[in-house]
Structure 1
Amino acid sequence: MHKLLIIDDSKTVLNQAMMLLKDFYHVFPAISGSTALKILEHHIPDLILLDLLMPEMDGREFFILLKSRPELSDIPVIFLISDTNDQTEAECISLGACDFIRKPIIKEVLLSRVEKTLELFDYRRDLQQTLDEKTRQIETAYIQTMAALANTIDAKDPDTNGHSIRVAYYSGQIAHQLGYSKEDCENIYFIALLHDVGKIGVPDSVLKKRDRLTEEEYELMKQHTTIGAHILKDIKMLPGLCDGTLYHHERYDGTGYPNGLSGEAIPRIARIISVADTFDAMTATRCYRKGMDPKIALEELKRNRGTQFDPEITDTFLEIADGLEVSNHEADLM
């Protein structure tokens, strides 16, 4: 049953409206705006009938206050007006009300307008939910595609196979230790999984080169951050996605790329990925070198704490590092 909140300083109007509506709706009466606000602390109505002219807080003031509160701003409002002035009617609509009903209240008018307003907003809500679900499905499919691309990029070079999955796992575990919610940890996992997706735009001759990169080649490699951010910029369901991709090579002391950000000006997600990415890069075996012993890699992280890496995030990773031995398959299940 829909819930209605009726606000009017006239007990006669309240009683009349209650009598007409109580058989069809769950009705909450309020004799003033302040009384209505107390009701709203415990009940969120599907529709508000609001007297325009009231002492203390009038209908205009209450309406503006209602719309300023995000949790209440979507509730439809029908104004109750006492005069037949066209300007008053226009004001109600211009404020953002759905409709108005003149007093004295006529039963058929009241029931019809309440019913039609609720039908319209139910339809809009259902439509929005359907749209949101379809959007989530599309964005999820897009993320899965990007993740496949990230894995494809890793697989192009046997030396980096599984890198993105491991970085995602480490990042998610750091986030968990930092106190992020389960949902945020999952989001950070997926953001980190895509951190190197921009390498799809870097020539293979640079990605697979075994010797030291020339200055020109290094500049090409650095572009993977901006390329990745451009690829992912339209995904809205993962806040921080572009930040993780664009800024994970920034350094805490401001000497990184692409923008030379420093300290907390670097988005936190990028600071998390930076630690995870560097640890995996140091400990992974390459065809031209053996992976660094994890204990030595942790010492390197500690040595660069406060210069390359965020001190808090570095310390957090050091706390949990002993329990982070993970296979590609295990990481993929996170």
Structure 2
Amino acid sequence: MDENFYKNIVNLSPVGYALHRIVLNDAGEPVDYVYLEANRAFESFTGLDVDKIRGKSVTEILPEIIYDEYNWIAEYGKVAIEGKEIEFEQYSQPLHKWYRVKALSPGIGLFITYFTDITEEMKNLEQKTTILSVLNEIVFEIDEDLVFINVISDENKLFYPKDKILGSRISDVLSGKTGEKFIELLKRAKQSKSKVNLSYLSPIEGDERWFRAEAKYIEFRNINKYVVGIQDITNQKRAEDDLKSIRDEYRKVFHGTQDSMFLIEVKKDDSFRYMRNNLAHRKNTGISLQELRGKTPKELLGEEAAIIVEGNYRRCIKEKTTIVYEETLKLKTGTRVWNTSLTPVFQEGKISYIVGSSHDITEKKQRQLEIEYLSYRDQLTGLYNRRFFEEELKRLDTPRNLPLSIAMVDVNGLKLANDAFGHESGDEMLIKIAEVMKRLCRADDIISRIGGDEFIVLLPKTDASETKKIAERISEGVKNETTAAIPLSVSCGFSVKVSADKDISAVIKKAEERMYVEKLRESPKLKLKTIQIIMRELHRSINGERDHSQNVGDICERLAIEIGFNKQDARYMRYAGYMHDIGKVGIDSKIFEKEGKLTEEEWLAIKRHSETGYRIMSSVNQYASMADYILSHHEKWDGSGYPAGMKNDSIPIESRIISIADAYHAMTQNRSYRNAMTSEEALEEIQNCKGSHFDPYIADVFIEMIKENPA
């Protein structure tokens, strides 16, 4: 293809492009640069005409650039002279815009810039930092000792100087009944676990303003606190008081407020008709007084909206007091969100009218959604958190996203780094690994940190082959990173949901199992440590399993000695007996607690534990031979056992020892489905099953051993 083809591609690119030549002084220092070429996006982002600036220097086109706080010429000079490649975000004072820039050198003395205009993006970022102060006029954060720990507000809106509020108790700042009401408000917030509010008169003498305090008790990790938002509701309160007369004072408030106000007549048949609306209501809703007057909610708003608003009107009548709520209505001016208060007006003891006051909070709700978005992020790594993952999993678990892959990523050695080098080292590991994952995963992949050292990746419309490549890229990419503490390493495991009827939790569980198996391959020390962790989890999750493991180990060692094993081999049998059920770690503990008959699926899950135990133990060199013993400890002498149906002497003798030890101890313990046997009853059962279930010789030795010394 000719040169024009590529030139057209560059010219049509949505990313700004410009080629420059650096200008040096006699000392070889960069003092200027010349525009050689640029594309259309460059013109759009800068407002500069390429044809007019081509061949001219930047100081000629933008002379004020030499006064810019950022030394553009010097930075670009490094690129052109040293061949460096840089990326940055910077505000251009001459052009009054923010840019995201990548600069590189195609040859000595030349540099290319690729950039985009991020002015709006930076404005939005600045806006988000002020969200909390916009949502409420005053925001207090109060600890559980009722001490003010943070204040968000302009100084002129506070009752007292901010420095006197911080560190003070509520009772020191708000004395008397106001302080008591505030303390009671916080108690209600903590008890209800939801937002509660309080309306109160300003505690400052002579100040007649009314305020509403909205409190929420927040529990987050180890930090518990109250967040209290304060809003000035003086106008609303005055409206409630003044509207009782519905005369001259009412008219002033009605038309003077910026809130959208309307008056509803309550008919004797409990129907409603609108009587009037104020100027703000007409402007904000597009409904004139002529359109509104005499209309029912259904005639004015339509049947669907009428059902909603009439429900609130009836609630106001039932509660006989002012009610406040949020509602979303589709009007001429569009779909808007309103904070509405309804106040009943009594005449001769009956409610004859309802006065409504609505404030448009659409933009505020949008900002709240932005805050909620931030709540979905992991604070340390910037990745999504468990809450977001769980919600995205529900959203993505649909047939159209199949195959849906899930990759589990576990950080190796995180606890070691924390213990040895402090949590800052562990945090550094997590941050670097998160950066690698963000760099190597695709744009549509959902990466979340769901635990201290655990990450999970959702990969919609991704098969096993592609998922494997991504997992391998992550593992290799992490290995290429370094920290001040220890080399970085992760263990990855994935599973794929290929059919709609497969339970996604089973897919996650399988990915987690594979991740753990992968973790066992990382290093001998790490594997040994992981074995210990798995055994602890096994003992924690299954009642009585710790005692069972220890007793089976003890019996195996005794029996091995009786059969003729040397002390070292007998000791090894003790370890094998202790860990014979390690494969149960992946089985739902509820199966072992079930009193009734197991389903076929539950029984198959239990039967797989010897194979699972084999896979876990065989990944550790020190336990490779022990893995065979664990694999075959449910084989039977007559070949009716599992998983391979081995028989007679083809079953390792160590497995035959474990088999009898396991059966004896299990029979003499209470189970959810039966009571414990006596030792004599268990020995009789072994006697009856020798030659079918158990090796006859080992069974005879065992029975004699227990009879002589049961302990």
Query: TM-score, structure 1 length as denominator?
Result: 0.53
Give 1:179 deviation, angstroms: 1.0
Q: Could you tell me which residue of structure 2 aligns to residue 259 of structure 1?
A: 644
1:223 equivalent to 2:619? Answer no
Residues 191 and 147 of structure 1: CA distance in aligned 2, closer, same or farther (over 3 Å): farther
Output the aligned Cα RMSD.
Answer: 2.1
Q: 1:305 aligns with which of 681, 690, 703?
A: 690
Is the 2:635–2:642 Cα contact (8 Å) retained in structure 1?
yes
Question: What does 1:1-334 correspond to in 2, within 5 Å?
Answer: 139=524, 142-143=527-528, 145-147=530-532, 149-238=534-623, 240-322=625-707, 325-326=710-711
Residues 158 and 245 of structure 1: CA distance in aligned 2, closer, same or farther (over 3 Å): same
Q: Whole-Å Cα distance in 1 between the matches of residues 657 and 553 of structure 2?
A: 10
Q: Return 5+ residue gaps in structure 1 as ranges.
A: 1-137, 327-334
Q: Whole-Å Cα distance in 2 between the matches of residues 148 and 169 of structure 1?
A: 21
Give 1:139 deviation, angstroms: 5.0
Is the 2:524–2:620 Cα contact (8 Å) retained in structure 1?
yes
Q: Once the two structures are aligned, what percentage of the paired residues are identical? A: 32
Q: Whole-Å Cα distance in 2 between the matches of residues 139 and 269 of structure 1?
A: 24
Moved over 4 A (4+): 138-145, 323-326
Is the 1:249–1:257 Cα contact (8 Å) retained in structure 2?
yes
Is the 1:248–1:274 Cα contact (8 Å) retained in structure 2?
yes
SS of equivalent residue, structure 1 residue 166: helix
Give 1:289 deviation, angstroms: 3.4
Residues 202 and 324 of structure 1: CA distance in aligned 2, closer, same or farther (over 3 Å): farther
Structure 2 residue identity aligned to 1:196: D
Instruction: Identify which of structures 1 and 2 has the higher relative contact order when contacts are C-alpha pairs closer than 8 Å and 6+ apart.
Output: 1
Give 1:153 deviation, angstroms: 1.6
Q: Whole-Å Cα distance in 2 between the matches of residues 246 and 310 of structure 1?
A: 17
Is the 1:195–1:245 Cα contact (8 Å) retained in structure 2?
yes
Q: Whole-Å Cα distance in 2 between the matches of residues 311 and 194 of structure 1?
A: 24
Structure 2 residue identity aligned to 1:192: G
Give 1:295 deviation, angstroms: 0.5
Is the 1:206–1:217 Cα contact (8 Å) retained in structure 2?
yes
Is the 2:629–2:654 Cα contact (8 Å) retained in structure 1?
yes
Q: Could you tell me which residue of structure 2 aligns to residue 6 of structure 1?
A: none
The CA deviation string for residues 8-33 of structure 1, in whole angstroms up to 9 with x for no partner, is xxxxxxxxxxxxxxxxxxxxxxxxxx
Residues 213 and 172 of structure 1: CA distance in aligned 2, closer, same or farther (over 3 Å): same
Residues 185 and 154 of structure 1: CA distance in aligned 2, closer, same or farther (over 3 Å): same
Residues 166 and 206 of structure 1: CA distance in aligned 2, closer, same or farther (over 3 Å): same
Is the 1:146–1:194 Cα contact (8 Å) retained in structure 2?
no
Is the 2:594–2:672 Cα contact (8 Å) retained in structure 1?
no
Give 1:312 deviation, angstroms: 1.2
Q: Whole-Å Cα distance in 1 between the matches of residues 631 and 650 of structure 2?
A: 13
Q: Whole-Å Cα distance in 1 between the matches of residues 561 and 529 of structure 2?
A: 23
- The structure with the largest strand share of the pair is 2
SS of equivalent residue, structure 1 residue 180: coil
Structure 1 residue identity aligned to 2:579: L
Give 1:162 deviation, angstroms: 0.7
Structure 2 residue identity aligned to 1:233: S
Give 1:240 deviation, angstroms: 2.7
Q: Whole-Å Cα distance in 1 between the matches of residues 563 and 624 of structure 2?
A: 18
The CA deviation string for residues 136-174 of structure 1, in whole angstroms up to 9 with x for no partner, is xx7577456525533532342324441011111111111
Q: How many residues align?
A: 189
Structure 1 residue identity aligned to 2:621: K
Is the 1:240–1:269 Cα contact (8 Å) retained in structure 2?
no
Query: TM-score, structure 2 length as denominator?
Result: 0.25
SS of equivalent residue, structure 1 residue 240: helix
